[in-house]
Amino acid sequence: MRFEPITIKDIAKALGLSTSTVSRALRGGYEISEETRKTVLEYAEKINYQPNPIALSLKERRSYSIGVIICEIANNFFSQVINGIESIAYDKGYHVIISQSHESYQQEVINVQHLASRSVDGLLITLSAETHDVSYLKELYEKGLPMVFFDRVPQDIQTHKVIADNFQGAFDATEHLIKEGNKNIAHITNAEKLSITTERLNGYKAALEKYHIPYRPELVKYCDHGGMLTDEIEEAIQQLLPLKPDGMFIASDKLTTGCLLALKKVNSRLVKGITVAGFTNSNLVNLFSPSLTSVRQPAFEMGQVATQLLIEMIESKRPVTEFETRVLKTDLILQQTE
């Protein structure tokens, strides 16, 4: 059976009024008597009448919806970002439509084009691991679709961006490993082209330089699928172990939990004594023994700030021409020793 929503015509028929009278009463038209307005509003509430969002969007040229493109909802970091997005969007009267790229450029393009065709008022986007070409986003943006990027951001689209202090977070984690007595520190990170990869690699290098430890490219392994492929992570671990690392800095949430699981699988004396630090907002790492020293990103705040900036763009009466990159502070949560 097909669902038939209640319409203004249904209310008009039930109350013996014209549809125009009901419409004016619902939107508070001054030309309607207080008695008629009260009758219409009470009846609308009784039958749980909801305005047709499609009709409203056609009339106001607004859908009051925001599209969100993330890599994976199951990633603890992104689930916290979504909570932040929703906390602002719903309070401002906007619906949130979430799509996952699963680190696929092709899926990202499909999702963005679908949301744009559904007339969302704006987009919040974090780029997939495979995304090298953002020209399709630039084209939509130049046609007037507001966009704000967060976490993984492009360099060649001039709009608001919200990121964590990836350089400092990576520096702090690597410095902690060095202060723990480690000198041969490996680095497992995301796809090479991502902004977070460059920023965190630079933080890692800077910490090594501060303590006069030579940078060794062979100790850096890139995982092009961002930790979504177990085989990719295990291969990186297998390539690193013969180099006898005593410390390991892992650059993202999904990679960190994946690497810890991969290390647990390895039955080798080479794994013993490796101190690990990584970017992660997941509490699951506390189940590992010893627990992990982690860089926590302000994921909830990132979602809130990005959404606030996007809504300001959407609701601005004039074209927005001045943009900012908000850099949010990370926290280093030290490993608990037994």
How confident is the model over 241-280, as pLDDT tens digits? 999 999 999 999 889 888 888 888 886 776 778 899 999 8
pLDDT at 338: 46
**Are the C-beta atoms of 326 and 167 separated by less than 8 Å?**
no
Of 182 and 36, the one with more pLDDT: 182
Calculate the average pLDDT of the chain: 88
**Are the C-beta atoms of 98 and 123 separated by less than 8 Å?**
no
Average pLDDT over residues 184-205: 96
Q: What 8-state DSSP symbol labels residue 213?
A: P
pLDDT exceeds cutoff 50 at 167: yes
Same CATH fold, 63-163+299-327 and 8-51? no
Q: In whole angstroms, what is the distance from residue 117 CA to residue 71 CA?
A: 21
Average pLDDT over residues 179-193: 95
Q: What six digits make up the tokens of 261?
A: 């699981």
Of 206 and 268, the one with more pLDDT: 206
pLDDT at 336: 58
What angle (nearest 5°) sits at the alpha carbon of residue 142, between those of residues 137 and 145? 70
Most confident of the following: 29-38, 160-169, 315-324:
160-169
pLDDT at 22: 78
pLDDT at 1: 42
Q: pLDDT-based confidence at 4, cuts 50/70/90?
A: low
pLDDT at 118: 83
- In DSSP terms, 97 is beta-bridged to 67
pLDDT at 48: 78
pLDDT at 16: 85
Asked if the peptide bond before residue 290 counts as cis, ω within 30 degrees of 0, the response is yes
Q: What six digits make up the tokens of 336?
A: 């608990």
CATH architecture assigned to 8-51: Orthogonal Bundle (1.10)
Average pLDDT over residues 68-94: 94
Q: pLDDT-based confidence at 30, cuts 50/70/90?
A: low
Provide CATH code, domain 63-163+299-327: 3.40.50.2300
pLDDT exceeds cutoff 70 at 286: no
Task: Count the helix, strand and coil residues of the chain and give each as a percent rounded to the nearest 5.
Answer: 45, 15, 40
Of 72-76, 82-86, 94-98, the poorest mean pLDDT is in 72-76
Q: Where are the domains of the chain?
A: 8-51, 63-163+299-327, 166-296
- DSSP output for 249-273: EE-SHHHHHHHHHHHHH---TTTTT
Average pLDDT over residues 101-114: 96
pLDDT at 192: 94
Task: Give this prediction's pTM.
Answer: 0.81
Residue recorded with tokens 């908000």? 326
Helix (H, G, I), strand (E, B) or coil at 291: coil
The superfamily (CATH) of domain 166-296 is: Response regulator (3.40.50.2300)
Q: In whole angstroms, what is the distance from residue 205 CA to residue 216 CA?
A: 9
Average pLDDT over residues 170-199: 96
pLDDT at 248: 95
Average pLDDT over residues 182-186: 96
Write the CB contacts of 27 (distance below 8 Å, at least 6 apart in sequence). none
Write the CB contacts of 239 (distance below 8 Å, at least 6 apart in sequence). 221
pLDDT at 52: 59
281 class by beta-carbon count within 10 Å (0-12 exposed, 13-18 middle, 19+ buried): buried
Q: What six digits make up the tokens of 174?
A: 């690597």
